[in-house]
Amino acid sequence: MRKNLTVSLYTPFVLAVGHAGDEPFAQRVSDRSFPTPGDLGSYLKEMYVNSGREDDFTEQENELRIFRKQLNAERIELRVKDDELSKKADYLENETNTFIEKDKELILVKEENTKLKQQNDLNTIKNKRHKYQVAAALLFSLLLAAATYFSTAYFFNDSKTPNIYTNVNSNMKTTSNFSNSKNK
């Protein structure tokens, strides 16, 4: 009766549920049934050993072990390279920070130099202005002294104060007499 209830599947339909002595309905349509899952495991182990593919699996396991060793060696090599690159990146970051700090210092020095140059230019202008002010004050003092001298001589024509106008006129006469004698 089992043969009539067979289901057509591409893969084998194996059943291993229940306990010894149970007979579920699915067992009637399965390609192979086992009373317990442990019995199925024993059957598969026996098939594997009898198939002769154990050598294939051993060879594949060896290839897998070799591949894993190569993979681990590459991982170690990559870690070493990663460490080297990290060190180089840290070095470059430190150098960049150093350059940035030096650049900031240079900017501060340039700003200080600019301020000093501006202060120097301002001091130069102040010195020139001071020189002009001193010269103007001296000139004003000289003019004031001359005006005082001339006004005193003009307004107080006494014997103690020399009359400059007389001296000037007498010098002019002397000069003109000298000119006239040359012309003769």
Mean pLDDT for 101-119 is 94
Count the neighbouring beta carbons within 10 Å of the beta carbon of residue 59: 10
Q: What are the CA-CA distances from residue 138 to residues 68, 86, 125 (Å)?
A: 102, 76, 20
Q: Left if phi > 0, otherwise alpha if psi is -120 to 50, otherwise beta: which for 18?
A: left
Model pLDDT, residue 167:
52
Alpha-carbon span 30 to 7, nearest angstrom: 7
What would the pLDDT profile of 125-180 be if each residue is shown by its tens digit?
999 999 999 999 999 999 988 888 877 766 665 555 555 555 544 555 555 555 55
Mean pLDDT for 60-77 is 89
Residue 42: which pLDDT band, with cuts at 50, 70 and 90?
confident
Every domain of the chain and the residues it spans: 1-51
